[in-house]
Homo-oligomer: A and B are copies of this chain.
Amino acid sequence: MNIYDIACLAGVSTATVSRVLNHSGRVSEASRKKVEEVIAREGYIPNAFAHNLNTKKSRTIGIICPVISDPNHAYPVAELSKLLRANGFEILLISTVSNDDSKRPYFVSLINRQVDAAILIGCNCSRQEQEDFVYAAKHVPVFVLNGKVEGPNIYCTLCDEKSAAEQVVKKFTEAGYQRVLYLYDSETYSGEMKLAGYKEGMRKYSQAEPLVVQVQDELSSFYKTLDTVRDMIGQVEFDAILTADDSLAIGAVKALGEAGRRDVPAVGFNNTILSRCATPELSSVDNRMKQQCALTVQTLLSVLQGEKAPACVTLDAQLIERGPLQKQLERKQSEKNGVL
């Protein structure tokens, strides 16, 4: 069943059917009624390929997302999906296997499929990645969520996680915690920013040296962190913990709990559901993913309409305080004052 059949059955030309289908051009009420009736009766569904081949638009957005089973990635995909679909776009999803395989073949797939734009959930900072983005941007506008890449036709939305990390360290040190341990897993742009913020914070506010440990696991860094922190307790001195992601913080808090070290405050990142599920609840830095998604889609729509758009927008992050954090800080504070 194609447009010829419909035209035939409705007693009009394919041009008229096309006009009805696309609400383009003027069609008499009579013709429209007739055509619509035939379409409904026959259950005709037009072929998007043929349409796209003509219009050179696919109304499809490619999303490249590292391992979508990670809730940190699934959330923005859900959000983007909702927003894009509301604007008439479909989504071609590429869930990459790891965070650092070359993006080139993924971009090629998307270009081959004629997506109108590509959105990336995060990015790493490699030279290779940068090149791949620039390459892709020659074919199609590229939007980066929670990551930064510079180049023509590349647009970024991110969150000032660097300052946020720095502020958490400041908060810790002001209460009297000096040896803040930083745990992270993957080496994304966002990850680098947090790490930089942590280091900056330590440099500015702490008398101790930065103490950084990378925990990485095929499965989920949660397990690895649990083991790592278990091993560290008693071996390495630290009195507060900041992690690049909630799942790490939860592993750490679990290990601390086992060892009876409830005095050690921990702050995670991304404010995921995990931080609420944990016992005790976890404080976490919210990277405002929802707003990032909204901004990205807004920018995307502008760009597709040929309007100018800012190459980079940065939002503020926000520390969400939960569980024992406040009490821990107060206690430490009063200890410190008592000692003085």
Spell out A's residues near B (CB within 8 Å).
45-50, 52-53, 58, 60, 63, 67-71, 73-75, 77-79, 81-82, 85, 90-95, 97, 108-109, 111-114, 139, 220, 222-223, 247, 250-251, 254, 257, 273-274, 276-279
Contacts and interface: CB of A to CB of B under 8 A. Distances in A.
Contacts of A257: 279
Contacts of A93: 63, 77, 81, 91-93
Given A68-B77, A82-B95, A53 B45 contact: no
A217 to B, nearest CB: 12
Contacts of A52: 49
9 contacts: A60-B92, A68-B77, A69-B75, A69-B77, A69-B79, A91-B92, A222-B273, A277-B278, A278-B278
Nearest to A219: B273
A81 B53 contact: no
Assembly of this chain: how many copies? 2
Contacts of A276: 222-223
Contact of A45 (B49, B112, B223): B112
Query: Lowest 8 CB-CB distances: which A-B pairs, in order?
Result: A69-B78, A74-B74, A93-B93, A81-B95, A279-B279, A49-B49, A68-B78, A49-B53
Given A48-B114, A50-B53, A279-B257, A74 B69 contact: yes
Nearest to A108: B45
Given A69-B74, A78-B67, A247-B277, A90 B95 contact: no
User: Is chain A's binding surface mostly helix, strand, loop or mixed?
Assistant: helix
Contacts of A279: 254, 257, 278-279
Nearest to A226: B276
Contacts of A139: 45
Contacts of A70: 74
Contacts of A58: 49
A277 to B, nearest CB: 5
Contacts of A47: 53, 112, 114
A49 B114 contact: yes
Given A68-B78, A91-B93, A48 B278 contact: no
